[in-house]
Structure 1
Amino acid sequence: MAITMSSFALLLMIGVPISIVLGLASVVYVAVSGDLALLETMPQRLYSGIETHGLLAIPLFMLAGELMNLGGITSRLIQFSQTLFGHFKGGLAYVNIIANMFLSSILGSSLAQTAMMSRVMVPAMQKEGYTKEFSAATTAAAAMLGPIIPPSMLFILYSVGAGTSVSKMFLAGILPGIILTIGFSLLIAYLGYKNNFPKSEKRPVKEMWSATIQVIPALLVPAIIILGITLGIFTATESAAIACALAFVVGILLYRELKWADIPTVFLNTARSTATVTLLLAMANLFGLVLTFERVPQVLAAWMGSITENPLIFLLILNIFLLLVGMIMDGIASIVILVPILVPIAKLFEIDLVHLGVIICINTVIGSLTPPVGAGLFVASSVGEVKLEPLIRQIWPFLGVSVVVLFILTYLPTLVLWIPSLFS
């Protein structure tokens, strides 16, 4: 196993894509162990890991996001946020946070949200007098809301790996997402007062009313998704299909910005994104087979039990461990690799698996903005055309707020489990 993990670390350090790293490390294990029977089961394992019905929600929500972007829903959400909050000191920074909160209920992916919003908000904030570095940092931090407020791709992956309800995970993400939004808004208020951020003129009531009327169809999409799941009308996967249908109707018939000529591009972008995630899932499932053969979950569980029997101390160790993992590993990869290992340990400490899922997902999202490997940083740097070093300096206050919120949610599980308990 030592040779396998060494090859895993080496391939990761030289920049090999994580999905390929997982596959090659699994092959190295077979070669070193000489277990040819394991080699025969690998092709079957590759396919069995992606045959779960719950995973169908991922490409469907990706498709919904593509339809909404081209259908004018995204632009109207940003315009609505700017009309309501743009006149405050640091107004455009608030707009960035609030618009990302709305969009989180559509896209569910922090990297996709970072790329999309960086194209829109960084030039707009720079034009208003904000530095490009602060604009990119605010956008990247606000995009963290994507995997927390439902629908969330990370929640779906966690639910499949942990055997929990996707609907419960979606409900559990609502309040943490709102708390994180409030935390970022308070930080903007402090920085706005300290640095004398600019503000725009207050919009006339007529313009505010017009923006509100125009955004109602856009807000109906996430509202119907969440209400349908909470009321038990449809499952999370079915809600993804309904989201696609609603986004298509709104874009084609109501806003009339989605054209029939755009549909092939929408499907192509969705297929590319889905293929990336699917390959990673298949390879991670293969590597999971190796970990199972080596009884890694049982060994780690025994080790954790020898350190402490206090669940509060275990949660502290878990958060530190996940924050460190997030610095060097992609969020999706860490979810699919670590969840099968951590769930049995959490059960020993009698930790609710929905609560555990929210903790793990928030940690992985924080990791996406943490050097040296933080993918969110690289996306914001590339799309926003900002150098990485000054961007990292600007992102630290947002990371500090995120870690504070993480520990609040860790030790006050009621904040996570209250909404799911209302519909249990």
Structure 2
Amino acid sequence: MQAAEETMPGAPSGIRRQLGRAEAALGLAVEAVAGLLVAVETVVLFAGVLARYVFHDSLVWSDELASILFLWLAMLGAVVAFRRGEHMRMTALATRAPPALRGLLEALAVAAPILFLLLLLHPAIDYAVEESFIVTPALEIPGSWRAAALPTGLGLMLLMAVSRLLRLGGAGRTLGALALVVAVAGGFWLAGPMLAPLGNLNLLIFFVGLVAVTVLAGVPIAFCFGLATFGYLALTTRVPIMVVVGRMDEGMSHLILLAVPLFVFLGSLIEMTGMARAMIRFLANLLGHVRGGLSYVLVGAMYLVSGISGAKAADMAAVAPVLFPEMRERGAKPGDLVALLAATGAQTETIPPSLVLITIGSVTGVSIGALFTGGLLPGAVLALVLCLVVRWRHRGAGVARAAMPPAREILRSFVIAVPALALPFLIRAAVIEGVATATEVSTIGIAYGALAGLLIYRQFDWRRLGPILVETASLSGAILLIIGAATGMAWALTQSGFSRDLAAAMAALPGGRAGFLAVSILAFVVLGSVLEGIPAIVLFGPLLFPIARTMGVHEVHYAMVVILAMGIGLFAPPFGVGYYAACAISRISPDEGMRPIWGYMLALLIGTVVIAAVPWISIGFL
């Protein structure tokens, strides 16, 4: 993106430079505040845990303050993500388009959000004004202090979008993208009187047609959902548009979701402090002498690291740089490496504290503690099927083996790894024993990880702390904006009566419960590849989980099935974004992993079918 801005003649060079300086100054200020909010949220929640569990007192204001700051963190993080171009979007088609069309699509990916931000800014201001009449119970401050984050974030994103569009490309492409957006919006507005009588056919027009076109064009997914919801409510109903803002607020500010930035932060922290490296070194010493042993280590390391971080990007970034150089030296092919890394990303989607588990508990009301307990064994089952594929692929003599290290070396690496290996068990025990909630427990992990890095591993790099906090805010903002937009979209679908029709259609499927689970697996594989994981869960979870209950499917069992199916779609090429993330982290061309990954994906699909057929795997330990 930066190279395109430097080479494509857009606005005059003097104006472009001034815009660049202004955007850089504003962006740095927003990044500083967003990173600071991550740190403050960590301190506030950890202080609440200490006060309650150690001093047997409670900070009645801590959750309220955390909730207020959380909405600001979500919106400012979304601004940082927009500035960095890190909002989730499907780029598979755009990157394969001819250069001229690709430039137009890049401009469209900025112009379409501008329209949404312009349309929503005034209702967001009205919403903040309305919230001023509500006073918080503990701190006794107006609700507008929190709600003001919405118009502030939208306004800052609008400034960033306009600046980027002016600097992005040639005048023809910029004007072409703006003209296309205005033409489509104008066409829908003129067609408004004809749309209203169509009833639920509008659901296909807006939530299937418009969303599909914008997603395939490369528009960030959050804005695709937002534009579809805004258009549907504005043109076919009499619902006040401020309701969209309210639903976004509700979706983004649920306190359970505060675990998202905190676990992202924890994932980066264990990589920085060397805890992940210590675990991987122990596993490598234990299994590295076995034929293909480091492949088994990769599967096991992803399982363990996922039990700490909850974020797949953090997991892969912690494991791949440590293992891949040694695996290459032993003759492993780059395509096999990235294929297995992507497959383990899909395998570990149910390992607590997965962000998807936290999200699904937030939007469906399923106990997060039950999800944490139920997710361990399904992940182990998929690890087993991946290991079977690894064993079959290494049955020949294609990969060299290393000599088994002395028992003393294995024991030494185990002792070094013990503090790191203890962290997943500490997190799980803290939740089960009631020491902390699923939201707060991440702060215990952060405090433990920081102390371990400072006192045990001596690898705490203070210079990296600021960038890590900013990266945490950016990723969290991108995720939470999608959740907010998808919450509004799911509410509109529910109000339309679609959920009742969907329930009736799913109940009428042949095969009863088995047919319902089979269709759910296929549907979430597709949704996971197109919408990515969290948007698919937020959008369809509230609709499908009540149907699963009526079909006699345990909600935790159903959660495991749909999460694993979604993970397969997320990490399967050619559309799965997770696969390309694995390639980027590994610095391996996506083409090299296309062929070897399908064996792993088939194994994961078979494992998911087994988990769907045997509910005990998911609910046996509840």
TM-score range, shorter chain: over 0.9
Q: Which residue of 1 aligns with 2:556?
A: 354
Q: Which residue of 2 aligns with 1:419?
A: 621
Matches within 5 A, 1:170-249: 170-194=372-396, 196-249=398-451
Matches within 5 A, 1:189-338: 189-194=391-396, 196-308=398-510, 310-338=512-540
Q: Which residue of 2 aligns with 1:139?
A: 341
Q: Which residue of 1 aligns with 2:119?
A: none
C-alpha spacing 1:140/1:121, structure 2 compared with 1 (3 Å): farther
Between 369-378 and 275-284, the greater mean CA deviation after superposition: 369-378
Out of 48, 51, 62, the position equivalent to 2:264 is 62
- Structure 1: distance between partners of 2:342 and 2:258: 27
Alpha carbons 1:23, 1:284 under 8 Å: kept: yes
Q: Which residue of 1 aligns with 2:569?
A: 367
Alpha carbons 2:570, 2:576 under 8 Å: kept: yes
Larger radius of gyration: 2
Higher RCO (CA-CA < 8 Å; seq separation 6+): 1
Question: Structure 2: which 5+ residue stretches go unaligned?
Answer: 1-201
Q: Which residue of 2 aligns with 1:32?
A: 235
- Structure 2: distance between partners of 1:307 and 1:65: 41
Alpha carbons 1:19, 1:279 under 8 Å: kept: yes
Q: Normalising by the residue count of structure 1, what TM-score does the alignment of the two structures yield? A: 0.95
- Structure 1: distance between partners of 2:578 and 2:316: 7
- Structure 2: distance between partners of 1:116 and 1:233: 28
Alignment of 1:124 onto 2:321: no
How far does residue 259 in structure 1 lie from its aligned partner after superposition?
Answer: 2.8
- Three-state SS of the structure 2 residue aligned to 1:38 is coil
How big is each residue's C-alpha offset from its partner over 1:256-303, in whole Å with a ceiling of 9 and x where there is no partner? 101333322221121111111111111111111221222221111111
Out of 371, 392, 405, the position equivalent to 2:607 is 405
Alignment of 1:9 onto 2:212: yes
Matching residue's letter, 1:65: G
How far does residue 309 in structure 1 lie from its aligned partner after superposition?
Answer: 6.6
How far does residue 326 in structure 1 lie from its aligned partner after superposition?
Answer: 2.3
Alignment of 1:82 onto 2:284: yes
* Identical positions, percent: 27
Q: Which residue of 2 aligns with 1:106?
A: 308
Matches within 5 A, 1:163-174: 163-174=365-376
Matching residue's letter, 1:211: S
How far does residue 385 in structure 1 lie from its aligned partner after superposition?
Answer: 3.1
Matching residue's letter, 2:230: V
Alpha carbons 2:522, 2:565 under 8 Å: kept: no
Alpha carbons 2:301, 2:319 under 8 Å: kept: no
Matching residue's letter, 1:75: R
Question: Structure 1: which 5+ residue stretches go unaligned?
Answer: none
- Structure 1: distance between partners of 2:278 and 2:356: 26
C-alpha spacing 1:195/1:6, structure 2 compared with 1 (3 Å): farther
- Three-state SS of the structure 2 residue aligned to 1:49 is helix
C-alpha spacing 1:350/1:38, structure 2 compared with 1 (3 Å): farther
How far does residue 197 in structure 1 lie from its aligned partner after superposition?
Answer: 2.5
Matching residue's letter, 1:11: T
How far does residue 51 in structure 1 lie from its aligned partner after superposition?
Answer: 2.2
- Structure 2: distance between partners of 1:269 and 1:112: 11
How big is each residue's C-alpha offset from its partner over 1:31-87, in whole Å with a ceiling of 9 and x where there is no partner? 43153x331212222111122221111111111111111111011111111010100
- Structure 1: distance between partners of 2:311 and 2:600: 18
Q: Which residue of 2 aligns with 1:73?
A: 275
Alpha carbons 1:114, 1:376 under 8 Å: kept: no
- Three-state SS of the structure 2 residue aligned to 1:419 is coil
- Structure 2: distance between partners of 1:178 and 1:159: 21
- Structure 1: distance between partners of 2:338 and 2:539: 30
Aligned length, in residue pairs: 419
- Structure 2: distance between partners of 1:289 and 1:314: 23
- Structure 1: distance between partners of 2:237 and 2:384: 54
Between 222-231 and 247-256, the greater mean CA deviation after superposition: 222-231
Between 140-149 and 163-172, the greater mean CA deviation after superposition: 140-149
- Structure 1: distance between partners of 2:395 and 2:434: 45
Matching residue's letter, 2:221: I
Alpha carbons 1:377, 1:392 under 8 Å: kept: no
How big is each residue's C-alpha offset from its partner over 1:232-252, in whole Å with a ceiling of 9 and x where there is no partner? 333212211111111111111
How far does residue 391 in structure 1 lie from its aligned partner after superposition?
Answer: 1.0
- Structure 1: distance between partners of 2:271 and 2:585: 17
Q: Which residue of 1 aligns with 2:582?
A: 380
Cα RMSD for the two superposed structures: 1.6
C-alpha spacing 1:111/1:68, structure 2 compared with 1 (3 Å): closer
Alignment of 1:158 onto 2:329: no
- Structure 1: distance between partners of 2:497 and 2:240: 15
How far does residue 344 in structure 1 lie from its aligned partner after superposition?
Answer: 1.7
